[in-house]
Structure 1
């Protein structure tokens, strides 16, 4: 997602909970939108509603036992190709989508593609649907409970070093601070570690040792290689479309005031850290300097990120470019022993291949989908989504729960307002938008509960048709939710 995307007794029985996942997500989304969740999360409230006594003057009618269900609901039949084609054909022929439109739809259960439409090149620019691939690889590479730790270590006579651990959501201040970038009336999710809290703990540790004067260094050596993909447009960094990708930053490299990105995110993070030390009575000698911590450095303090599963959910829900690129670096570290763009790309291909997903002729140069040189076969994305839903890979479930719900959450909260209204809440999908490109990929449950995976790409959209093209693609996905595709 670039800056213009900011708006933006069988196996069958075991898959049925995913239908509930789609339906319950709507209720959860409604709870979030209407501030019900805030009340649920307050720690001083009883967890069990039965523990809350009703008002004394409340009169309730006697409980009525529900009638027994005579027989269980029959499972829906298989997905029919002809019904799917009828559902999506009209919207995908919309001229606003341009002259190169690819789509693939298949049952969630099984393999292969049921319906494939489009002509010309079998590959298209996937834009931010790339994040589905990156997130899946990250969960294959690491445990869902993995936490990324930012540390402060003593480095002998050279002072202390702030060591970046690749926490994508490391903040400058606690979320309840008045000037915190994410401050709001509601809770910040996922929870963020912050360098202010880390600096305070460091100051306390130094004071306990009787030290009141230090030099501050910062270490970004966890990641290597260029801070920008060589396959990005040259103006992405100078124009503040995306931050330089580094193992240490705060607020994803965004400035405390204004727009865009800071030029040196790691130095900015170290400067914030040093400023808090000074306010806590620790004199900082000079300015922070970049240097690697020594092998024998002793830890003074640390803070940990939210677990990887929550990071993945956030990346997918709001289409976070910077965090997706950090995840790609972690894939490189875990799979290839190197935190670079190149190692991350190799790791994605290897891990998915070992899990049974062949990306075929697809080529992905980054983790976020910002590169206009990325190419993907929509059928490959179907296989990635199926992998995330597979019974044998429960660790990948955050890929599904992170997909925005059509019309309710994340980058789909203000979409799906055209097309079949029955599609709202029955579709969960990752959006993708670059200039001239719109894409959508995810899950749909039709009106009788048939589960499908789909991927739709249009990469020749006229700029003046951007919104209309997006609506047409939303309508095609909504039609899957509205149809009776048996």
Structure 2
């Protein structure tokens, strides 16, 4: 369904398509030229970016001039004007940027972005249902993290200077005044290359952030544990009692499904455990499970909810009772017991008999028979941000608490997140963390903090934080932005969404008209319509992408 205010965009499509057809051959030649290496890539792409921006600038100037009288009158420029500006200015820019950064992942994600940026009517990539001559494989650590940032122009010396505040205010103020954004809203825009705030509207006022809290959780976890850290699930045998203990390591991505390539597999753990038991001539064990890595209540303050399983150190497939891998779903009430029962079934396939499982704790005398590990933390962070995965978010908050020697419960996770961000020198005034997912309405963050987190993730001195940027949903392509921005700024805006009843937020990055990488955060409270609020936030991010603002 097309939002009524977006319908005029259809009239602009033929022009955009002609521009796309004109630049596509040059983009193909550029792609061939930049593939040999990242260093040569960046050097080769910068002139093309400058020429692409210079070519598009007159069109954007005309659009901005046409919209200026409406801004002066206090009315909102039509969405298609910002969309057309973003599309025209961004066609060659986004396509060359995508090529420079390399494949988004093995399924051709960044190839799909390039195709979509070059021609708004095309899609591609395994993640989107269409073929882009790539094949899917196991998840990997943060893909081309450093080159993503470099390719976006944040560190390029030839990229034009950052936009100025008054010009940004002329564009953003009328859009943020939209009644759809409720009675309280705040905003901030930061130049990622310098960390300088370019625009602020109540940027230091703390509001409920909803799922944009996950940006803070990601930064804290990566800072405390490192991007290469993995979570281990193991099977331990007590030598004296022949008790077999399934020890949870807090991996919410542990799976019992057959197609588990690249993820920690409960089936593989059972296969290896059974083989080890047979070597010891053991065919029957007392089966138990250990969840003592975490403490406190497993139930989130919002209560039992399809958006989140009970938070346990041991679970399989996020305790989902269906075949889904993301989004709300019914969950089992005792994830650890359920995972251990499934483990017992896999052991039974190898002739190992077990008792009905119950809770226990592995001792220091136990022998580890087998273990499986999660993908690196960088991959977990990306999956969490892309899908807004609450189960991973709460697990990472507790892992941060464990690493910080805090009690691994909801409160301890919040305290650990705050402590890690304080170490990084981030602006925490007014911030309050009560969970890792943002489901708790008592959470409070500022637009200033959110943009500072994103800028920190782009800081060359913190490469371990780069998955925060690479994991952001891509407008029109991935995760919670898949069905948004389908008529403009697709592939250019990357942002984490946040939605609770009466709360709508958006925080991420965008490349402006002149190739500058900007971080932004928009928070709105007391909204009456989630759909209208989301559309208003998307219009604002789209306008930022079309802005030269000098």
User: One fold, TM greater than 0.5?
Assistant: yes
Question: Of the candidates 484, 487, 512, which is equivalent to residue 415 of structure 1?
Answer: 484
Aligned residue number for residue 154 of structure 1: 237
Listed as ranges, the matches of 1:109-128 within 5 Å are 109-118=193-202, 122-128=205-211
Contact 2:205 2:430 in 1 (8 A): no
Q: CA deviation at 1:309?
A: 0.5
Q: CA deviation at 1:429?
A: 0.7
Question: Of the candidates 522, 530, 533, which is equivalent to residue 456 of structure 1?
Answer: 522
Aligned residue number for residue 311 of structure 2: 245
Q: Distance in 1 between matches of 2:490 and 2:534?
A: 15
Aligned residue number for residue 477 of structure 1: 541
Aligned residue number for residue 171 of structure 1: 255
**1:345/1:173 Cα in 2 relative to 1: closer, same or farther (>3 Å)?**
same
Contact 1:406 1:412 in 2 (8 A): yes
Q: CA deviation at 1:406?
A: 1.3
Q: CA deviation at 1:104?
A: 1.0
Q: Distance in 2 between matches of 1:37 and 1:103?
A: 40
Normalising by structure 2, what TM-score? 0.72
Partner SS state of residue 440, structure 1: strand
For CA contacts below 8 A with separation 6 or more, give which structure has more relative contact order: 1
Per mean C-alpha deviation after superposition, the further-off stretch among 191-200 and 430-439 is: 191-200
Question: Of the candidates 346, 365, 370, which is equivalent to residue 434 of structure 2?
Answer: 365
Deviations 1:244-286 (A, max 9, x none): 111100011112479411100000000100111112211113x
Q: Distance in 2 between matches of 1:406 and 1:92?
A: 20
Deviations 1:312-366 (A, max 9, x none): 0100011000100000000001112542222222221121111121311111211
Q: Distance in 1 between matches of 2:220 and 2:389?
A: 16
**1:366/1:282 Cα in 2 relative to 1: closer, same or farther (>3 Å)?**
same
Question: Of the candidates 173, 177, 181, which is equivalent to residue 89 of structure 1?
Answer: 173
The size of the alignment, in residue pairs, is: 419
Question: Of the candidates 450, 459, 462, which is equivalent to residue 393 of structure 1?
Answer: 462
Q: CA deviation at 1:38?
A: 4.2
Q: Distance in 2 between matches of 1:325 and 1:468?
A: 29
**Gap regions ≥5 residues in structure 1:** 1-11, 43-71, 177-187
Partner SS state of residue 250, structure 2: coil
Which has the larger share of helix? Answer: 2
1:104 and 2:188 matched: yes
1:261 and 2:355 matched: no
Listed as ranges, the matches of 1:196-207 within 5 Å are 196-207=267-278
CA RMSD of aligned residues (A): 2.5
**1:38/1:27 Cα in 2 relative to 1: closer, same or farther (>3 Å)?**
closer
Listed as ranges, the matches of 1:196-235 within 5 Å are 196-229=267-300, 232-233=301-302
**Gap regions ≥5 residues in structure 2:** 1-41, 50-92, 105-109, 114-123, 139-155
Normalising by structure 1, what TM-score? 0.81
Q: CA deviation at 1:82?
A: 2.1
